[in-house]
């Protein structure tokens, strides 16, 4: 009997944490996963340690902070001959201890370059490939962050630097040194991460507005809960990591295991219940498996249409698409 080919998803940053567990959850659901990683050996051994056979995946190199590498990845994916059903923009760096901006190969601040610009370029380059897949409905899923929800308690604390793109003066100025922040203000590493996630969420909405009706691609973001013990906090002190995890488990009650977070991403990729486009998904009582997902409204800075259009045009310039 002729065996049906598995559906294919690309997961960026699949070598650890949420991306790794999304890979496992998708493979368990019968998908073939292209693990888009900067460290191929790490990706392979992380997967093997979880007992997943390597033939269920293709491991391809990408450095999302480097636009040339992103273009190289898109070409390499094309030459695999695989049909793309889903792209999951998951990779991220968070370096809140940095006092000075680190720079990407193109000279941009590293967290905005990796989390936003790299994924923006990748999504644009793979849009045609996604569009070609009609069964199942193609999906482009982006990992958001709760930190761009101004209503969240932790964002109300006076020491919290909130995501705020200002009038995009830093991007307009070309985003090269000495400019290090999107709003053109002084460098703040924690805020740079939040800004980058806000950009990704704004761009996902903008993709939906521009392309959903004409392509049928479903564009969604999610916050699966706080996988506080993932490697995302690797730049912070062990004491901070312990306290943060304790806070998320016991006070915020937002803690989720990396496995549960990965399962939730896989749901957005694979379940018919998540076929509406242009949504941001979150989960009630986040810690508990089996909790229902709900579409969450975003704060005004993540719904600003004029800002979105301006950000799209400036991002196109910075990644060389305009």
Q: Rule CB under 6 A: which residues touch ligand NAP?
A: 13, 15-19, 37-39, 42, 62-65, 90-93, 114, 143, 145, 197, 223, 226-228, 230-232
Q: Do the bridges between strand 279-283 and strand 218-222 make them parallel or antiparallel, or are there none, so unpaired? A: parallel
- Least distance (Å) from ligand NAP to the CB of residue 322? 23
Question: Which CB, 108 or 223, lies closer to ligand NAP?
Answer: 223
Contact 294, 182 (CB under 8 A): no
Q: Toward ligand NAP, which CB reaches closer, 15 or 308?
A: 15
Token pair of 279, please?
């949504």
In whole angstroms, the minimum distance from the beta carbon of 212 to ligand NAP comes to 22
Nearer to ligand NAP, 196 or 215 (CB): 196
Q: Which two tokens stand for residue 28?
A: 């368990």
Q: Which residues pair with 222 in a beta bridge?
A: 143, 281
Minimum distance of ligand NAP from residue 232's CB (angstroms): 3
Residue 243, helix vs strand vs coil: helix
Structure tokens given for 233: 């906090």
Name which of 62 and 168 has its Cβ closer to ligand NAP. Answer: 62
Q: How far is the CB of 70 from ligand NAP (least distance, A)?
A: 9
Given the complex with ligand NAP, which of 133 and 282 has the nearer CB atom? 282
- Specify the pairing of strand 293-295 against strand 279-283: antiparallel
Distance of closest approach, residue 259 Cβ to ligand NAP, in angstroms: 11
Q: Which residue is nearest to ligand NAP (CB)?
A: 17
**Sheet of 86-89, strands arranged across:** 57-61, 32-37, 8-12, 86-89, 139-143, 218-222, 279-283, 293-295
């Amino acid at each position: 009997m002729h065996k049906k080919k598995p559906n294919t998803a690309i997961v960026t940053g699949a070598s650890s944490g949420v991306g790794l567990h999304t890979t496992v959850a998708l493979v368990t659901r019968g998908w073939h996963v292209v693990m888009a990683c900067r460290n191929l050996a790490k990706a392979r051994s992380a997967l093997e340690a979880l007992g997943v056979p390597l033939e269920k995946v293709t491991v391809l190199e990408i450095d999302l902070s480097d636009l040339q590498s992103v273009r190289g990845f898109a070409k390499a994916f094309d030459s695999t001959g695989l049909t793309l059903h889903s792209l999951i923009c998951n990779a991220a760096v968070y370096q809140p201890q940095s006092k000075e901006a680190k720079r990407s190969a193109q000279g941009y601040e590293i967290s905005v370059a990796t989390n936003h610009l790299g994924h923006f370029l990748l999504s644009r380059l793979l849009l045609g490939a996604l569009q070609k897949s009609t069964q199942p409905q193609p999906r482009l899923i982006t990992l958001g962050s709760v930190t761009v929800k101004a209503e969240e308690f932790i964002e109300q604390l006076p020491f919290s630097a909130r995501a705020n793109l200002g009038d995009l003066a830093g991007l307009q100025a070309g985003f090269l040194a000495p400019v290090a922040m999107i709003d053109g203000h002084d460098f703040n590493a924690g805020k740079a991460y939040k800004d980058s996630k806000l950009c990704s969420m704004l761009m996902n909405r903008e993709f939906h507005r521009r392309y959903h009706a004409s392509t049928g691609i479903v564009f969604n973001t999610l916050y699966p809960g706080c996988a506080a013990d993932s490697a995302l906090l690797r730049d912070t002190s062990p004491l901070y990591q312990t306290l943060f995890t304790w806070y998320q488990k016991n006070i915020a009650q937002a803690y989720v295991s990396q496995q549960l977070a990965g399962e939730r991403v896989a749901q957005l990729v694979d379940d018919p219940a998540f076929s509406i486009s242009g949504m941001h998904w979150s989960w009630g009582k986040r810690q508990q498996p089996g909790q229902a997902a709900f579409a969450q409204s975003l704060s005004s800075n993540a719904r600003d249409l004029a800002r979105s259009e301006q950000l799209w045009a400036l991002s196109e310039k910075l990644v060389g698409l305009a």
